[in-house]
C-alpha cells in the first residue's frame, strides 16, 4: 500500500492535468482546451525528437573517449576549448531541451564547468539554422550585433559559474 501511495504522489500533477483537461473539454472551458492543445503539440514534438537525440548522444558517448574530451574541452583547454564548445553548439539543431543531455555527457566526459555553460548559452542562441532565419527576418547587422554582444556574455557567465560552482560539482542521477 505504501508503494502505491508513493507512485500516486509522484504523478499527482499528471493526474490533476488529465482531470483538468477532461473537465475543460466537458464544460467547454476554452483556456483549458488551449492549454491541453499546446501540451499535446509540444508532447508530440518531444516524442518525435527525443529518440533521435538519445541515439546521437549514445553514439557521442561511445565514439569520444573521456581522455580526448578532457584534453580538448576540460579545465586546461583555454580558448581552444571555448571555441570547440561554441562550434559544437552552433552545428547542432533542435530545441533547447536537446542541449541538456549533451551537456550531461560533456560533464561526464570531463568538460570544464565553464565550457558546459558556454555550450548551453551558445546552443540557446547561436545555432546556424536559427542564425539563418534570424538574418532573413531581422537582417545581417542585427544578427552580427546580437552575436557580438551575447557571445562575450556567455563566456563571462561560463567563467562566473565556474568560479561560483567550482570545478568539483556533482550531477545527481535522479535515482531514488
- What is the residue extent of each domain of the chain? 2-46, 64-165
CB 74 within 8 A of CB 110: yes
82 Cα distance to chain centroid: 18
Low-confidence ranges of the chain (pLDDT < 50): 176
Q: How far apart are CA 89 and CA 128, in angstroms?
A: 9
Average pLDDT, the chain: 85
Distance between first and last Cα of the chain: 18
The candidate with the shortest Cα–Cα distance to 114, out of 70, 68, 136, 81, is: 81
Burial letters 28-41, b for 16+ CB under 10 A, else e: eeeebeeebeeeee
Assessment of whether the complete model's pTM goes beyond 0.85? no
pLDDT for residue 14:
86
CB 117 within 8 A of CB 158: yes
pLDDT for residue 176:
47
Phi, psi at 149, each rounded to 5°: -85, -45
pLDDT for residue 175:
56
Amino acid at each position: 500500500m505504501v508503494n502505491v501511495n508513493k507512485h500516486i504522489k509522484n504523478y499527482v500533477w499528471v493526474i490533476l492535468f488529465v482531470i483538468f483537461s477532461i473537465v475543460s473539454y466537458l464544460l467547454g472551458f476554452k483556456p483549458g482546451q488551449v492549454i491541453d492543445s499546446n501540451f499535446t503539440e509540444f508532447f508530440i514534438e518531444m516524442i518525435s525528437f527525443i529518440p533521435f537525440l538519445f541515439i546521437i548522444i549514445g553514439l557521442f558517448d561511445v565514439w569520444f573517449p573521456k581522455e580526448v574530451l578532457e584534453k580538448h574541452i576540460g579545465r586546461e583547454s583555454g580558448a581552444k576549448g571555448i571555441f570547440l564548445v561554441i562550434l559544437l553548439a552552433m552545428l547542432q539543431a533542435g530545441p533547447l531541451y536537446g542541449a541538456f543531455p549533451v551537456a550531461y555527457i560533456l560533464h561526464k566526459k570531463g568538460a570544464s564547468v565553464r565550457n558546459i555553460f558556454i555550450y548551453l548559452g551558445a546552443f540557446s542562441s547561436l545555432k546556424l539554422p536559427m542564425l539563418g532565419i534570424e538574418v532573413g527576418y531581422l537582417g545581417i547587422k542585427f544578427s552580427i550585433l546580437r552575436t557580438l554582444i551575447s557571445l562575450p556574455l556567455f563566456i563571462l557567465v561560463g567563467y562566473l559559474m565556474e568560479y561560483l560552482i567550482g570545478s568539483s560539482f556533482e550531477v545527481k542521477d535522479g535515482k531514488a
